[in-house]
Amino acid sequence: MGSTARPEVPLPAGFTCHVGNVGIKDDTDDFTVIAADRPCAVAAVFTRSRFAGPSVVVSREHAADGQARAVVVISKNANVATGAAGLDHARELAAGVATAIGAAPTEVLVASTGVIGRPYPIARIRAGMAALTWPFDGSDAFRVAQGIMTTDTVPKVAEATVGDGPARVVGVAKGVGMIEPDMATLITLVFTDADIGAEQLDAMFRRVIDVTFNCVSVDSDTSTSDTAIVMASGAAGPVDPDALEAAMHAVALSLTRQVARDGEGAETLIEVHVDRARDREQAKRVAKAIVNSPLVKTAVHGADPNWGRVAMAVGKCSDDTDIEQERVVIRFGDRELYPTIVDEAGLAQLSDYLRGDEVRIHVSLHTGDAEATVWGCDLTDGYVRINADYTT
């Protein structure tokens, strides 16, 4: 089993794609359809936002029976907070794609990402749907990843083989800001040609998402459009479920790290590992408090081994009254900084470490034996510039 990220990754057997431009915002790719030649097992998890968009509403309905033929993604417009017309547009999108590929409307899932509160330029989308030619001739996951990008600076693709093959898992993701997924990330699409039932696929996918995408945070903001979908075509036949889950985990983990590294304005990937915790929830809560702290994020950006800010972030978890500051251990990389205090020469070495493109913060709570790992990125002038200038 291997996991890589590079251009020209073919979709698993049974899937093809169409990636094009219909003029949602500019002339970049904004209309992406991935379809299977027969019904697939499907599982999906979505944002819990109270402002969830119509795409999420429609996809949740259409994934409920565990079967789907295709997913269509509109990028550059989220179709969120667009009222009754927005919901009509999402249903029309599913139905139009279904007609083009000879499927039922309920066999098509929809995802959408971009600006909030603007109606779709629906006439352009209608023209795009009318021009679809089935069967599709595309099969490159790299093109799919490009088609769903908004302000991402790089397309995000990962693949893994299941055991010794021939089944494969291929995933794509997009998302650089508004990222603290709550049930799912912005948009993640995972495809496999393994043959697996929808119920087993759903359970497996939720376990994988829980320790990957649900552990990444760029800015503590949660999208209204978070959508993670997995589709299994079955073209490669049945596989060992553990090997499939391992391959799926490798793909999701790679995509998670790619998303964190490409966080808006980010220059450094931050991995926070918390162990010796009472339970996984405590470990994850403390790890998220650290990775989301603006003061920790700016310290990493400034290559400042200011471990006091990590102590502050641990301290914020004030309901965790079993955390005793005398027993907490804080490390940057492998270097212990608290309670053993390092001298100025040691701090200078750590500053060099923090200048790398990946930083690991490791905290032991000594309240139990559970652990969790989360991923994020530094907070830079670039984040402020990107988000002060976006939209209008």
**Bridging pattern class, strands 187-195 and 227-238:** parallel
By CB under 8 A, tell whether 356 contacts a copy of itself: no
Closer to a copy of itself by CB, 53 or 171: give it: 53
Intra-chain end-to-end CA distance of the chain, in Å: 46
Q: Active site includes 153?
A: no
Closer to a copy of itself by CB, 7 or 308: give it: 308
DSSP element (H, E) containing 271: strand 269-277
By CB under 8 A, tell whether 351 contacts a copy of itself: yes
| Contact between residue 76 and residue 30 where contact means Cβ atoms under 8 Å apart | yes
Question: Nearest to residue 150, comparing CAs of 25, 326, 288?
Answer: 25
By CB under 8 A, tell whether 308 contacts a copy of itself: yes
Using CA atoms, how far apart are residues 327 and 329, in angstroms rounded to an integer? 7
Closer to a copy of itself by CB, 146 or 292: give it: 292
Packing angle of the helix pair 294-301, 280-292 (nearest 10 deg) = 60
By CB under 8 A, tell whether 121 contacts a copy of itself: no
By CB under 8 A, tell whether 181 contacts a copy of itself: no
Using CA atoms, how far apart are residues 336 and 324, in angstroms rounded to an integer? 17
How far lies 297's CA from each of 144, 200, 337, 356, 387, in Å? 31, 38, 17, 14, 17
Stretch that binds a copy of itself, among 5-13, 184-192, 238-246, 312-320 (CB under 8 A): 312-320
By CB under 8 A, tell whether 282 contacts a copy of itself: no
Please report, as a single letter, which amino acid is at residue 292: N
**DSSP assigned state of 64:** T
By CB under 8 A, tell whether 177 contacts a copy of itself: yes
By CB under 8 A, tell whether 259 contacts a copy of itself: no
By CB under 8 A, tell whether 224 contacts a copy of itself: yes
- In terms of Cβ atoms closer than 10 Å to its own Cβ (0-12, 13-18, 19+), residue 156 is buried
By CB under 8 A, tell whether 325 contacts a copy of itself: yes
Least separation, in Å, of the C-beta of 333 and a copy of itself? 16
Using CA atoms, how far apart are residues 385 and 388, in angstroms rounded to an integer? 5
Least separation, in Å, of the C-beta of 164 and a copy of itself? 42
Closer to a copy of itself by CB, 12 or 177: give it: 177
By CB under 8 A, tell whether 51 contacts a copy of itself: yes
Catalytic residue among 32, 150, 185, 367: 185
Stretch that binds a copy of itself, among 64-72, 76-84, 131-139, 202-210 (CB under 8 A): 76-84
Question: Nearest to residue 97, comparing CAs of 53, 136, 143, 132?
Answer: 132
Rule CB under 8 A: which residues touch a copy of itself? 47-52, 78, 80-81, 83, 115-117, 177-178, 182, 219-224, 292-295, 298-299, 301-302, 304-309, 311-318, 320-321, 323-326, 338-339, 341, 347, 351, 379-381, 383-385, 387-392
* Residue numbers annotated as active site: 185
